[in-house]
A and B are shown apart, each in its own frame.
Chain A
Amino acid sequence: MWNDSSAMILADGFIFVLLYLVVIEIGLTVANAKPVGTYVREFLLQHPWIELGLAIFVGALIGHFFAKGPIPWITH
């Protein structure tokens, strides 16, 4: 099961894209330009429901990955 590479490829793709964005962020900081967050914020201000959805999603993901009872609704 550990040899199933599909999950790892997806996770690595995700990390690689994060790395790409961080490298862009470094470039923007060097150029004293607006950071990545400004562009994301502009989009989220126009779509507040997406912001709410992402906030719930990120929180749920952290809880799902790293938390376990005694809170009854976090048992898996």
Chain B
Amino acid sequence: MVTGRKIRLAYLTAVATVLVVLLYLTTQRILGQSSPCGLSPSEEPAHPFLAFQFGTALLCFGCLVVGSLASFLGRFPRLLNIRGLPGLVLGGTKELPLARVLVQIGLFFLLLFGSGALIFESFAIYKEIWPVTFYVRCGNDAAPVYTALFAGGICLLLGNWLWHAAPPKGTST
């Protein structure tokens, strides 16, 4: 029987697969290769996603909104009565003490790498080498569909994590 939890597991597995493919492509297929974009990538891809220059950006914002559905759902108790929807969007309810520590470790490193990327961006502009932006734009120029897919997957996660439904009052630490 298909339940909300199973659909949630399927979507999370799909996102994890997208991230594994992205790691494989960047480390095994792209690193060390010559640039397909010349000395600097164009600001706009030759064949943008959805044949529209804002296609990828719109997909990203759409994924952020879809990811944040948990937050909207949490505000309307009537929606929580729809069968399977809470399991799909809100996840489980059990409290696991180890989960909090594992999540905090992950978030710490996420912010660390995010900050590192921003510092590198500034350093790269100063040293006139390729900043992270150029790699993203080059990817968007060379493979717009894959880039949109990867960016959409990441935005889906960020939307779900940043704007998840608030925990019930009194349970917040």
Contact = CB atoms under 8 A, between A and B. Distances in A.
Interface of A: 1-8, 10-26, 28-42, 44-46, 51, 54-55, 58-59, 62-68, 75-76
Contact of A7 (B16, B20, B57, B135): B135
A19 B165 CA distance: 22
Contact of A31 (B92, B120, B161, B173): B92
B93 A34 contact: yes
A5 to B, nearest CB: 6
Contacts of B164: 35-38, 40-41
B135 A11 contact: yes
A10 B26 CA distance: 11
Contacts of B34: 2
B136 interface: yes
B113 interface: yes
A30 B93 CA distance: 12
Contacts of B163: 37, 41
A18 B130 contact: no
6 contacts: A1-B39, A10-B116, A14-B117, A24-B103, A62-B60, A66-B56
Given A8-B31, A62-B57, A67-B53, A17 B109 contact: yes
